[in-house]
Amino acid sequence: MKTPHDHTEELRHLIEQVNATSISSIGSVVTRIIAVINDPDATAKELVEIILTDPPLAANVLRLVNSAYCAPKNKIADIQQAVIFIGFEALKELALNQKVCEIFKRGVKINGYSREKLWKHSVAVALFCKMIYRKEFAQRGENAYALGLLHDLGIIIRDQFQNEMLLMALQAAAQKNLPLNDAERETCGYDHAHIGMALAENWCLPEEIVFGIGYHHDPRESQDGDTTLSQVLHIANYCCQKNNIGYCDAPLQDPAVFTHCCQALKIEPHAIDLVMGEVQQKISDMEAEGLL
């Protein structure tokens, strides 16, 4: 999938608009956290330094570490203690989660869409991607969780900077019973995957995240090497939408793409069901603690 030529300049201008706002500073922190996640030699000290240079992020991390969800016996007073209590791996995800969450501010609610619902969906997809990598491939899948959180970033950007376009697409999707991305292409000429891919590339995120965002509706369209992460994301996105976790942008999905991805990765239906059950429980627990 390539960006439609006629809209290249419009996309470039949109990315410039985004980078002229506070979202740019969020993006720079997200990029640094993802760099730590991808560096096998990175230390907890490096992540702690990133968190400490961002007081709101540090405060949110400490709030969550001290919540009933993490259940510490004694109050955790600083980020160094948080590393000891929840571990380096968990702290990476928690910091990334909290920073990306800042982009999903309160906004419009229409035809089943809201930023809060989209955030819930994104967290569920991130959890699903991570579990697939760990349970099916016995790999950490460093970028799987990050891609899950960021895969619908383009919807949020369109919501905040092209709100009228998003409203038109949402209305067209509802009236014609179309997936949002198809409605976007009809009404705007390009969809949220194009936007998210362009922004991820501009932020210099890892290529598999860039392409994962760009091809998450149909990994078969990709001509960019290994599509494993894109296929895992499609499976996660499909299952979370099918089970109505958060916002569903494609009520009528193509099961052929889902089947192709499962067969390509040799993932059996019972494995999908087990992961889905764990994701649903995790999301339920997070909701009970007011974390979603």
The answer to whether 64 and 285 are in contact (CB under 8 A) is: no
The predicted structure's pLDDT at residue 287: 87
The predicted structure's pLDDT at residue 252: 67
> Is residue 58 included in any domain, yes or no?
no
Q: Indicate the number of domains in the chain.
A: 1
> Is residue 236 included in any domain, yes or no?
yes
CATH of residue 209: 1.10.3210.10
Contacts within 8 Å (CB) and 24+ apart, 212-216: 212/143, 212/147, 212/151, 213/147, 213/150, 213/151, 213/153, 213/154, 214/1, 215/1, 216/151
* Ranges of the chain whose pLDDT falls below 70: 1-6, 68, 106-111, 250-252
The answer to whether 23 and 103 are in contact (CB under 8 A) is: yes
The predicted structure's pLDDT at residue 251: 65
> Is residue 122 included in any domain, yes or no?
yes
What is the rounded CA–CA span in Å between residue 194 and residue 55?
32
pTM, full prediction: 0.90
Domain that holds residue 143: 107-288
The predicted structure's pLDDT at residue 3: 43
Model pLDDT for residues 76-105, shown as the tens digit of each residue: 888 988 888 888 988 999 999 999 999 987
The predicted structure's pLDDT at residue 283: 95
> Is residue 7 included in any domain, yes or no?
no
> Is residue 197 included in any domain, yes or no?
yes
Model pLDDT for residues 253-264, shown as the tens digit of each residue: 778 999 999 999
Model pLDDT for residues 134-166, shown as the tens digit of each residue: 999 998 888 999 999 999 999 999 999 999 999
> Is residue 86 included in any domain, yes or no?
no
> Is residue 282 included in any domain, yes or no?
yes
> Is residue 14 included in any domain, yes or no?
no
